[in-house]
Chain A
Amino acid sequence: MTLRVLDPSSEMAAELGKPAPRLASLQGKTVGFISNGKEGTVGYFSHLDRMLRDDFGVADVVIRVKSNYSAPADPPIVAEIAQWDAVISGIGD
């Protein structure tokens, strides 16, 4: 006896975004951090800021903090991304 059963998974996933072209170097670039604002982000991102500037020659680091750490970044932050050469989006758990 054949048992015909149905697929329970979604077949309508939205198209995923594509990664931007990789940078050849971070020298002189502007890097944005999108922090979820949790306690652990403070030390982590400040250390990463220093490391990017001192070790990789990054010209500028912009730190933005989400208003809700369990929701996507606020629209003004997303709009600002176009002005950066690279983005690091991190959590602070």
Chain B
Amino acid sequence: MQELYHSNGWTDGLPVVPPTAEAVAACLEWAMLPPDQLIGVEPVRERPITAEKLAINAVMAGCLPMHFPVVVAAVTAMLQQEFLLHGATASTGGCAVMLVLNGPISKELSANPTFNVLGSSDRATMVIGRALRLILINVLDVRPGGIDRSTIGHPGKISYCLAEDEDDNPWLSLAEQNDIPKEASAVTVMAAGAPRQIMNEWTTEPKEILETFAAEIRANMRHYSIWPGNYAIIVPQQLRQHLQKAGWSKADISEFIFERARIHRREWADVGKGSVVRDRGDTVYPAMDSPEQLLVIAAGGPAGGFGAVIPPWLGHKSHAVTMAIGVCLDCEPPKP
């Protein structure tokens, strides 16, 4: 069975769980979706996406039925126009779809928002992230060299999912910042580049800590893309404690980084891109159009002044989307 799936191009190169009718039916039943439920239509190639195909791929990725509603919500979010799904999955820029889980579902699934949060931190986030990639491969033909034209891609394209740490944390969660009550669960999707790790454990001063994040964003703007959009930052517990002790909210952090994360176009000349500076060297480019575009995510192990900047793929064209889990948009009630 494994060789059949590999030879048909139905895998990401890793072994898959056999998608038996029983396992697929269990996922659909858990999410209360009939197999032919239309989850959405991929807009560029007009490809219908049904619940059954999502469930088959979720099972293959290792999902249990309890994971499946997250997968459905994430795909629904990816199909929103502002996400620009086709571009994000076809681009030579080679981004991945990053998922952030919020709300009670994280604990229900035993997602781990602490140690190794951007690695293989736990079963739930690994298999949910992988399910999205298998869905892109099999349902939308996003295969390397086919629809997927990524020049180099990055390891997040195997699985790129994390839960936000909402314990002992006075900050609003990412979902709450998007008007979803904390009693509800939600998933945020973002067309995201690889994480760029930062480290500053030699200060407790909020502005100094955040300057390190802003500097990494500026580096990305020089070395990768100048366009503004949804940058995400991962702030671990050790750094959060300094920020929270000083009374900084997520909004305060966003405001500070919005002001500090910007470059002059002439800086491109310092990194070998002088040919495209032209007469606009004095133009200032902010990393975000507004402070609200910064996704501040509380996550990471308890010790260590390490954090990450996760840059957008094409920030001014593709936007992060937050979707409540279990909320059905434009769908019909299940058939009797």
Q: A residues near B, CB below 8 A?
A: 3-10, 12-14, 39, 68, 70-72, 93
Contact = CB atoms under 8 A, between A and B. Distances in A.
Given A70-B317, A71-B87, A10 B20 contact: no
Chain B interface residue bracket vs A: 35 or more
A42 to B, nearest CB: 11
Contact of B47 (A3, A5, A13, A93): A13
A3 B53 contact: no
Interface stretch (B121-129, B137-145, B244-252): B137-145
A12 B48 contact: yes
Contacts of A13: 45, 47
A75 B293 CA distance: 29
B87 A5 contact: no
B20 A4 contact: yes
Contacts of A5: 1, 18-20
Contact of B140 (A10, A70, A71): A10
B56 A8 contact: yes
A64 B56 CA distance: 42
Contacts of A8: 5, 10, 19, 53, 56-57, 60, 134, 138-139
28 contacts: A4-B20, A4-B21, A5-B19, A5-B20, A6-B24, A7-B56, A8-B5, A8-B10, A8-B56, A8-B60, A8-B138, A8-B139, A9-B53, A10-B47, A10-B48, A10-B49, A10-B138, A12-B47, A13-B45, A68-B87, A68-B317, A70-B84, A70-B86, A70-B87, A70-B88, A70-B91, A71-B44, A71-B317
B203 interface: no
Contacts of B139: 8-10
A78 to B, nearest CB: 13
